[in-house]
Structure 1
Amino acid sequence: MQIKTVHDYQPAADLLSNKVILVTGAGDGIGRQAALSFAEHGATVILLGRTVAKLEAVYDEIEQTGGPQPAIIPLDLKGATAQHYKDMASTIDNQFGRLDGVLHNAGILKILSPFTHIESDDFNDSMQINVTGPMLMTQALLPVMQKAPTASLVFTSSGVGRKGRAYWGSYAVSKFATEGLAQVIADEYENTNVRTNVINPGATRTAMRAKAYPAEDPKQLKTPLDLMPTYLYLMGDQSTKDNNLCFDAQ
């Protein structure tokens, strides 16, 4: 994948007006900030995550700041089946008639360990939540996305999804798979209204980062808000010609 950056992008206030965008992992970290930023720029945001209380807090914050009324979908990618995603797609289609964007942000980072110590359950969970879930969800949502004038599908990768790194076993493998999945979809839908790209957030001040680097000073890291120019660019119409690219948010 070719790498692109748009760090200095300055979005118009109404960039996402009348767009319907689904954000997974919307209750915390980058997903939460993306949902808030998308709503701030006019999008109706569908908040997907496993912890209802966190989703409700984001919902309330969007309403309090005057954004369009969001929707909530409580769903755990670990246990969700293909039928769950089909039912979800049907609900979105019935309620909104289309889907203009999907940000696959939800992910899991299991214990960092030597390769020979990787537990099969941890590996399977990483693949299920980081790869299989987004794959099944995308299969179900693509027909609804094709009803939009233009639609943006964004997957979340990592630096260890481009170059393997010692001790990052399951997570790194899952992110290599994510980039491959995105490339397949991007190539298959190249001449349609659906564009597919990957975003690498980089080192960001989140709970997942703190788990991986407990001794690190989080104040030295970019915040999720600092990354939003790239996320907004990818969901706005100025990125309609971008397909099969990887965007570094830092």
Structure 2
Amino acid sequence: MTPSDSAPASPTPGRMAGRIAVVTGASRGIGRAVAKRFAVEGAHVVAVARTQAALEDLDDEVQAAGAQPLMLVPEDLTDYEKIDQMGAALFQRFGRLDVLVGNAGYLGRLGPVGHTPPEMFQQVMDINLTANWRLIRSLDPLLRQSEAGRAIFVTSGVGHEARAYWGAYAISKAALEMMVGVYAAELLKTNVKVNLINPGRTRTDMRREAYPGENPETLPLPDAHAEAFVRLASPECQDHGALIDLPSLAESEG
């Protein structure tokens, strides 16, 4: 049996049946919602996050919903050698990767850009930018082995507009958008489609940290965005090099 032959057939019917998907930042917020939705849609999900207990809770939810168990990877994405090891392990087990969702992010401290402590600036870059580059470096060969490889990276409105006091976070997202654009341009003649998604205002821990005075009841739950990720992850989706801005789409549809 070759590694690709060992890819599991999903017992759950759905639009992602049999597809192998890596989701980072999967223990909470948007990553958690996406990982669960992918699993319910039939994908074999590799859930990556730092907290083992939170990943186990997610796995319990997924199995209670009738989906197959997740593959849990409790790793810190700034341990870059672990990302390389994950790529090697996925190759050995499956021989390919169908979907990568680069969702994990870190806000850091908001305030004047010149007041950001150097170690915090570096940590924001390490998680929001460099970890995604390392994921591309490690997993791109596996995405190319898929008949319809899909990569989705999560950005923010502050990544494409200069907003005072958002400092390292905004800078990291702007750099991420450029990196993903370059990566997409390099894949024009392949079966891999790469896109960015801006979920907009969402009821997450990061949003609460950034806007402590905001009423969370006025914000959509992370689950509200899962459908957009399923669409971008599907073999039928032909978007490539796009920035899917969910707030703008909602306004146009409204």
Same fold (TM over 0.5): yes
- Would you say the 8 A contact 2:151–2:193 is kept in 1? yes
- Would you say the 8 A contact 2:23–2:45 is kept in 1? yes
Q: Distance in 1 between matches of 2:76 and 2:244?
A: 27
Q: Distance in 2 between matches of 1:40 and 1:164?
A: 38
- Would you say the 8 A contact 2:77–2:83 is kept in 1? no
The corresponding residue for 1:103 is: 101
- Would you say the 8 A contact 2:18–2:43 is kept in 1? yes
Q: Distance in 2 between matches of 1:152 and 1:56?
A: 26
Please, which runs of 5 or more residues in structure 1 have no aligned partner? 1-12
Q: Distance in 2 between matches of 1:15 and 1:247?
A: 20
TM-score, normalisation: structure 1: 0.92
The corresponding residue for 1:123 is: 121
Shift of 1:191: 1.1
Give the match's secondary structure for 2:151. Answer: strand
Deviations 1:28-67 (A, max 9, x none): 0000000011111111110000011111111111112111
- Would you say the 8 A contact 2:96–2:146 is kept in 1? yes
The corresponding residue for 1:245 is: 242
Higher RCO, Cα 8 Å, sep 6+: 1
TM-score, normalisation: structure 2: 0.90
Matching residue's letter, 2:54 = K
Q: Distance in 2 between matches of 1:229 and 1:136?
A: 27
Shift of 1:116: 2.3
Please, which runs of 5 or more residues in structure 2 have no aligned partner? 1-12, 248-254
The 5-angstrom pairing of residues 156-167 of structure 1 reads: 156-167=154-165
Shift of 1:93: 1.3
The 5-angstrom pairing of residues 198-217 of structure 1 reads: 198-217=196-215
Q: Distance in 2 between matches of 1:165 and 1:16?
A: 37
Shift of 1:193: 1.2
Alpha carbon RMSD of aligned pairs, Å?
1.0
The corresponding residue for 2:87 is: 89
Matching residue's letter, 1:84 = K
Shift of 1:218: 0.5
- Which runs of structure 1 show a deviation greater than 2 angstroms over 4 or more consecutive aligned residues? none
Give me the identity figure in percent. Answer: 37
1:32 aligns with 2:32: yes
Q: Distance in 2 between matches of 1:117 and 1:220?
A: 31
- Would you say the 8 A contact 2:27–2:51 is kept in 1? yes
Give the match's secondary structure for 1:237. Answer: coil
Matching residue's letter, 2:89 = T
